[in-house]
């Protein structure tokens, strides 16, 4: 059995490394002759260039007839068939007992336990547990975006980002919520959506302890504490903590009113203003006073009303010293 496992390992490894170049062209003395017209990378053999070009096109011409998975190289398909579809997982992690069909997969897995990161970026010194992850990371420094969308020409540093982008053109939404049936083009969008159902809020503010379901919402929240306002109006110079606040503000200058009432045709610069306006037509009063039960169409009107019960008088006359519960009363005074 041990010899059989050893032969399986050797065969899988050999299949992953061997590529048949016997019928390919090679120039004199093995000098580089074949250049990639997309990124300029050069190869000594045409076969290597053909395989490389598939990193740009995303082409995977070799298909597994058992599971339908596709591969860019025939030897990868061969390895996949022999090492995956047998169901055999002879390589076991002695720490967590997880099993693998290939020894190199076990080796990479062990680094999750040891924390080993043997692949180092020579530019910034950052380390990685897998060589493929290092290769992808290098694009941060080089700015290289070798993966191009054949429909719109947009380029990406990673092939999986290109795959996600293609869904914009195809309209494909392969990721489905098993709770409500809603579909998404990307798995990370589905993950975020599921938190609507679970109530999970994994992102925590280390200053006030408030929790959020999405990391970008936490980032915006932190600006409440830091006072950071990175979004600036190029017309008046006013700054905002969130980009959507800047977008709304710009309409003060442009006069744009993109939100229209379908009943009377009146237009508004902000959607929440349209929402409040609609209550004029519907008579909706969603804000209720818990003391007397009176209802209001606007929350700020409810806030003013509550002062009738509390006796709070926030507005003071500097001349007479008299106080009022509403600003309009102070102005009339």
- Determine the angle formed by the axes of helices 2-17 and 103-114, rounding to 10 degrees: 90
| Cβ contacts of 221 within 8 Å, gap of 6 or more | 205, 210, 212
146, 56 in Cβ contact below 8 A?
yes
Confidence at 261, pLDDT banded by 50, 70, 90: very high
Q: What is the pLDDT of residue 32?
A: 54
Give 203-212 pLDDT, tens digit per residue.
Answer: 999 999 999 9
d(CA 292, CA 306): 9
Q: Pick one of 1.20.59.20, 3.30.160.60, 3.40.50.300, 3.30.465.10 as the CATH number of 119-198.
A: 3.30.160.60
User: In the CATH scheme, what is the homologous superfamily, with its name and number, of domain 287-332?
Assistant: Classic Zinc Finger (3.30.160.60)
Q: What is the pLDDT of residue 107?
A: 92
Q: What is the pLDDT of residue 122?
A: 92
Rg over CA atoms, the chain: 31
d(CA 274, CA 241): 23
Among the listed ranges 177-181, 185-189, 197-201, 264-268, which one has the minimum average pLDDT value? 185-189
Is the confidence at residue 152, as pLDDT, over 50? Answer: yes
297, 279 in Cβ contact below 8 A?
yes
Pairing of strands 239-240, 34-35: unpaired
Mean pLDDT of all residues in the chain? 85
Instruction: Decide whether 119-198 matches 287-332 in CATH topology.
Output: yes
Confidence at 121, pLDDT banded by 50, 70, 90: very high
Among the listed ranges 21-35, 162-176, 177-191, 235-249, which one has the minimum average pLDDT value? 21-35
Residue 62 pairs with which residues in a beta bridge? 71
Q: What is the pLDDT of residue 31?
A: 52
What residue spans define the domains of the chain?
119-198, 287-332
Phi-psi group of 321: left, alpha or beta (phi > 0 → left; psi -120 to 50 → alpha; rest → beta):
left
Percent over 70 (pLDDT), the chain: 90
Give 41-82 pLDDT, tens digit per residue.
Answer: 888 899 889 988 888 888 899 998 888 888 888 888 887 887
Confidence at 2, pLDDT banded by 50, 70, 90: very low
166, 149 in Cβ contact below 8 A?
yes
């Amino acid at each position: 059995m041990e010899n059989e496992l050893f032969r399986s390992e050797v065969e899988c490894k050999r299949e992953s490394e061997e590529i048949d170049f016997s019928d390919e062209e090679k120039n004199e003395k093995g000098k580089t002759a074949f250049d990639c017209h997309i990124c300029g990378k050069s190869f000594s053999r045409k076969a290597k260039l053909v395989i490389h070009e598939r990193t740009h096109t995303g082409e995977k011409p070799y298909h597994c007839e058992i599971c339908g998975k596709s591969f860019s190289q025939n030897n990868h398909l061969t390895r996949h068939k022999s090492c995956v579809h047998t169901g055999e997982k002879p390589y076991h992690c002695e720490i967590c007992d997880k099993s693998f069909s290939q020894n190199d997969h076990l080796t990479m897995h062990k680094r999750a336990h040891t924390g080993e990161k043997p692949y180092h970026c020579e530019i910034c010194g950052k380390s990685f547990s897998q060589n493929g992850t290092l290769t992808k990371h290098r694009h941060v420094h080089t700015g290289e975006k070798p993966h191009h969308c054949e429909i719109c020409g947009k380029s990406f540093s990673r092939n999986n980002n290109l795959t996600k982008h293609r869904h914009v053109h195809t309209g494909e939404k392969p990721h489905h919520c098993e709770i409500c049936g809603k579909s998404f083009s990307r798995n990370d969008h589905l993950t975020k959506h599921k938190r609507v159902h679970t109530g999970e809020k994994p992102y925590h503010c280390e200053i006030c302890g408030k929790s959020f379901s999405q990391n970008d919402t936490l980032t915006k929240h932190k600006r409440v504490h830091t006072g950071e306002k990175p979004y600036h109006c190029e017309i008046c110079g006013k700054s905002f903590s969130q980009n959507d606040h800047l977008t709304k503000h710009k309409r003060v200058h442009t006069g744009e009113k993109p939100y229209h009432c379908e009943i009377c045709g009146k237009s508004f610069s902000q959607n929440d203003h349209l929402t409040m306006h609609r209550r004029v037509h519907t008579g909706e009063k969603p804000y209720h006073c818990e003391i007397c039960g009176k209802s209001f169409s606007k929350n700020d009107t409810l806030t003013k009303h509550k002062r009738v019960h509390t006796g709070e008088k926030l507005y003071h006359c500097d001349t007479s010293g008299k106080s009022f519960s509403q600003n309009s009363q102070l102005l009339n005074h």
